[in-house]
Amino acid sequence: MLDRDGVINQDSDAYVKSLAEWQPIPGALEAIARLYHAGWTVTVATNQSGLARGLFSSATLEAMHDQLQTLLQQQGAHIELICYCPHGPEDQCDCRKPKPGLFQQIATYFDVPNLRDVPVVGDSVRDLQAGIALGATPYLVKTGKGEQTLHQGGLPEGTLVFDDLSAVADYLLRVSP
Ligand SMILES: O=P(O)(O)OC[C@@H](O)[C@H]1O[C@@H](OP(=O)(O)O)[C@@H](O)[C@@H](O)[C@@H]1O
Ligand SMILES: [Mg+2]
Ligand SMILES: [Zn+2]
């Protein structure tokens, strides 16, 4: 279960507001494809408060996700489910990470009671906290806000730290081929 901005694509403190700004992180799409071809089911759980802030439209967000899937299809791969929180911090929703709502959506989709031991990969503590709420295993990447997150401390116990998604995929394919 992957965070999007800062894990799959480059993040920006000014938000990723257009298809042109949506730029895959080197190796990330290949990492997803390697996991897919090894039998992993890949999902995404992403906060997209830029929608509530009026920074981009839902059509633009869908175009980014279509581009992601198109690029993966060129490698014979696919993301099974992309869940996103469209709300802003003031909306008091149940799905904005660190709240677990997006991961509850994933568990419901697969009709499982929890996400025990399923990897959750993020560049922010809130990504990991949200997944851990359903039993996921936390992985921090140093891309995006990951370096900053690492230096801030407060990582959930047992978090495994890797340079990027490609390194996480190397590890997962090594320990559970
Ligand atoms: O990393 P994921 O969850 O895929 O997406 C994060 C983005 O929605 C944006 O989230 C914002 O946080 P606030 O929503 O303003 O707290 C900021 O961190 C932006 O830099 C970032 O691009
Ligand atoms: Mg992120
Ligand atoms: Zn929400």
DSSP 45-109: EEE-HHHHTTSS-HHHHHHHHHHHHHHHHTTT---SEEEEE---GGG--SSSTTSSHHHHHHHHH
23 located within any domain: no
Cα of 58 vs centre of ligand 3, distance in Å, is 14
Question: How does residue 48 score in pLDDT terms, banded at 50, 70 and 90?
Answer: very high
ipTM score over 0.90, yes or no: yes
Domain CATH number, residue 98: 3.40.50.1000
CB 58 within 8 A of CB 51: yes
13 within ligand 1 shell (Cβ under 6 A): yes
Residue 1, domain member (yes or no):
no
- Is 17 among the domain residues? no
Looking at residue 176, its pLDDT comes to 86
Q: Is 149 in the pocket of ligand 1 (CB under 6 A)?
A: no
112: in domain = yes
Q: What is the pLDDT of residues 85-100, one digit of tens each?
A: 999 999 999 999 999 9
State which residues form the domain around 130: 28-175
Q: What pTM was computed for the model? A: 0.98
Position 10 in a domain: no
Distance 8 CA to ligand 2 centre (A): 9
> Is 18 within a domain?
no
What does the alpha-carbon distance between residue 177 and residue 113 come to, in Å, rounded to a whole number?
25
Tally of structural domains, the chain = 1
